[in-house]
């Protein structure tokens, strides 16, 4: 069978734009001789539409667009994801459906059976699970049509009791189609390959998989649509983080194929190139889809702001990213020079706005109330908040969006000033541990030195008091990040962490910092998600609670 795998970057709620894209690609697929064009899960609405799905008008608009697409399906069939109404009188008002079009009309609806309700997913909030499975015949070929999670019930301990493909298999399909909205994290592409292989081997059928690409606020979709034969061998694939179409033709060689090698996931191995590309796409789509043109950020001469500036410059163009140097009396000369060199290397405009006079004015204002208490954390935070006031003033005056530069290690332990360096419209590195920020810096410098080497090798410091270093307040990052990974991503408790060799005092200290700073993370900007467990919608912890692992 000749199929078109269509991987697109949709905009949530942009019915006209999404429908136009689908129809354009549908016509191109028809001219290429495809019998059926396959689009992604909830393509017409974009994913995740969240509480937009509770608006009747939103669903009506989606249905109207589906009729427009159906009218284009003469001489070609199409599978397009979108919501459909549950007319049974029981359960949730909607199904998450695959709409199958042929002959200028809706031929069949296949509903999603397995609704994920973990991490970033909350589909059971909106959708009713299907009670049956869908096999549809197109041009004499029987297609088992599934939607994302429907093929993920694999492994030794399945997550669900139902196996939709087991039910569909009784209807003797010849090909498995899976339309998906599967967001990126650094191991997800490998996990998908394993899932496709498992299903291909179990049912001895080829599997066709089509995913979204593009970013939707914090969620980044990497695409990576692919087709594998009955042995689980990837025969065709689309690129990561890009739109595209791939015409494939399944034939005899796709069946009774040799078994592909087992797919193994090294959970602590992170492909820094993929993370880099994901963050660039996340920035570009956040600005592009919101209609923003220019970014601003504070440049300290340190590695976090340097990496953020480099990523933003690649995403938006150097002239659209403004670096603001805000030195205090505690800032070293080399930090200021490093920040200037970085901006020049990237071609980004920059300004220098010293904050010492403003800080001393604020100190004088507060002195009668602070009395004779010594300089401390309060004064450090005052400097950070002065910087934030200046950055936000520039953002308001000139229409910039402020990029937050805090990394995941800092966010985890609360090493940041609320309404200071933790403010912004988008957190670029909030799901990237400090040790991986260093890896990103080296990756950015892989061809030539963009980020000054001094920014990479010098001990990290907030430079808010004389001689300050991060290590004065935190464990060394190589140890801290390992412990945080086990606690946050792997959900290891105190006793398990101690059994792994972490010092009991260190475990108690770090876990307390993570848990007692949840209130800060509730007030931070959206964080671009690149890990399996990011702060934000995918990690839901109480602010008030005594459990510390």
Enumerate the known binding-site residues for L-glutamine. 118, 182
Identify the residue whose tokens are 């029981």: 90
Distance CA 421, CA 403 (A): 10
415 closest CA partner among 390, 433, 436, 392: 433
Question: What distance in Å separates the CA atoms of residue 367 and residue 3, rounded to the nearest whole number?
Answer: 73
In residues, how long is the chain?
Answer: 549
Round to whole Å and give the CA distance between 286 and 88: 38
- Could you give phi then psi for residue 457, rounded to 5 degrees? -95, -20
Q: Which residues is 88 bridged to in the sheet? A: none
* Residues that constitute the known binding site for ATP: 298-305, 405
Question: Taking a C-beta distance cutoff of 8 angstroms, is the pair 194, 161 a contact?
Answer: no
Structure tokens at 3: 């199929």
Q: How many CA atoms lie within 13 A of 137 on its CB side?
A: 4
Q: Give every CB contact of residue 213 below 8 A, 6+ residues apart in sequence.
A: 7, 8, 9, 221, 222, 223, 240, 241, 242, 243
Binding site residues for deamido-NAD(+), as ranges? Answer: 381, 410, 520
- What is the Cα Rg of the chain in Å? 26
The encoded tokens of residue 423 equal: 């403010």
Q: Of the listed 41, 128, 314, 380, which one is catalytic?
A: 41
41 catalytic per annotation: yes
CA atoms within 13 A of residue 38's CA, in its CB half-sphere: 28
Q: Which two three-digit tokens encode residue 180?
A: 């998906």
Point out the catalytic residue in the list 65, 148, 348, 423. Answer: 148
Helical H runs in 291-332?
A: 303-316
Whether 66 and 44 have beta carbons less than 8 Å apart is answered as yes
Binding-site residues from annotation: 118, 182, 298-305, 381, 405, 410, 520
Distance between CA atoms of residues 489 and 1, nearest Å: 42
Residue 294 in tokens: 């220019």
For residue 487, give the DSSP letter: I
348 included as an active-site residue: no
Q: Are the beta carbons of 178 and 209 closer than 8 angstroms?
A: yes
Phi/psi for 20 (5° steps) reads: -60, -45
112 noted as active-site residue: yes
* DSSP type of residue 131: S
Residue 119, helix vs strand vs coil: coil
Pick the catalytic residue from 35, 65, 107, 112: 112
Catalytic residue positions, numbered:
41, 112, 148
């Amino acid at each position: 069978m000749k199929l078109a795998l269509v991987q697109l970057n949709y905009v949530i709620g942009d019915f006209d734009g999404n429908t136009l894209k689908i129809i354009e690609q549908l016509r191109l697929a028809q001219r290429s001789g495809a019998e059926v064009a396959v689009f992604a899960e909830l393509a017409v609405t974009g994913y995740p539409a969240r509480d937009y799905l509770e608006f009747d008008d939103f669903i009506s608009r989606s249905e109207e667009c589906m009729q427009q697409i159906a009218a284009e399906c003469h001489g070609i069939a199409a599978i397009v994801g979108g919501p459909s109404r549950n007319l049974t009188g029981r359960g949730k008002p909607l199904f998450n459906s695959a709409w199958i079009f042929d002959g200028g009309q809706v031929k069949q609806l296949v509903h999603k059976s397995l609704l994920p309700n973990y991490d970033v997913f909350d589909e059971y909030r909106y959708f009713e699970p299907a009670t049956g499975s869908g096999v549809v015949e197109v041009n004499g070929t029987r297609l088992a049509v599934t939607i994302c999670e429907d093929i993920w019930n694999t492994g030794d301990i399945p997550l669900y009791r139902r196996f939709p493909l087991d039910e569909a298999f009784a209807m003797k399909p010849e090909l498995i189609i899976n339309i998906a909205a599967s967001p990126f994290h650094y191991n997800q592409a490998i996990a998908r390959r394993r899932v496709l292989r498992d299903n291909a081997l179990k049912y001895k059928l080829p599997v066709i998989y089509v995913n979204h690409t593009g970013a939707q606020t914090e969620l980044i979709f990497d695409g990576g649509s692919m087709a594998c034969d009955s042995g689980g061998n990837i025969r065709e694939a689309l690129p990561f983080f890009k739109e595209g179409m791939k015409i494939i033709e399944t034939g005899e060689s796709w069946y009774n194929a040799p078994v592909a090698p087992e797919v193994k996931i090294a959970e602590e191995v992170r492909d820094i190139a993929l993370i880099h590309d994901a963050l660039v796409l996340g920035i570009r789509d956040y600005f592009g889809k919101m209609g923003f043109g220019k970014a601003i950020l504070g440049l300290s001469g340190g590695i976090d702001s340097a990496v953020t500036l480099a990523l933003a410059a690649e995403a938006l163009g150097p002239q659209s990213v403004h670096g603001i140097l805000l030195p205090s009396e505690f800032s070293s000369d080399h930090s200021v020079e490093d920040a200037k060199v970085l901006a020049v290397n990237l071609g980004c405009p920059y300004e220098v706005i010293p904050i010492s006079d403003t800080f001393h004015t604020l100190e004088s204002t507060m002195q009668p109330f602070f009395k004779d208490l010594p300089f401390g954390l309060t004064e450090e935070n005052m400097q950070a908040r002065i910087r934030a006031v200046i950055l936000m003033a520039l953002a308001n005056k000139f229409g910039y969006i402020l990029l937050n530069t805090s990394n995941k290690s800092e966010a985890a332990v609360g090493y940041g000033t609320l309404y200071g360096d933790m403010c912004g419209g988008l957190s670029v590195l909030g799901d990237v541990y400090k040790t991986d920020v260093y890896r990103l810096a080296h990756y950015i410098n892989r061809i030539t030195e963009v980020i000054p080497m001094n920014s990479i090798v010098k001990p990290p410091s907030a430079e808010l008091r004389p001689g300050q270093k991060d290590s004065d307040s935190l464990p060394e990052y190589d140890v801290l990040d390992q412990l945080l990974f086990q606690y946050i991503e792997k959900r290891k408790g105190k006793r398990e962490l101690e059994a792994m060799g972490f010092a009991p005092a260190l475990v108690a200290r770090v876990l307390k910092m993570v848990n007692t700073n949840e209130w800060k993370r509730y007030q931070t900007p959206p964080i671009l998600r690149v890990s399996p467990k990011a702060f934000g919608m995918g990690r839901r912890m109480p602010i008030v609670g005594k459990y510390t692992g």
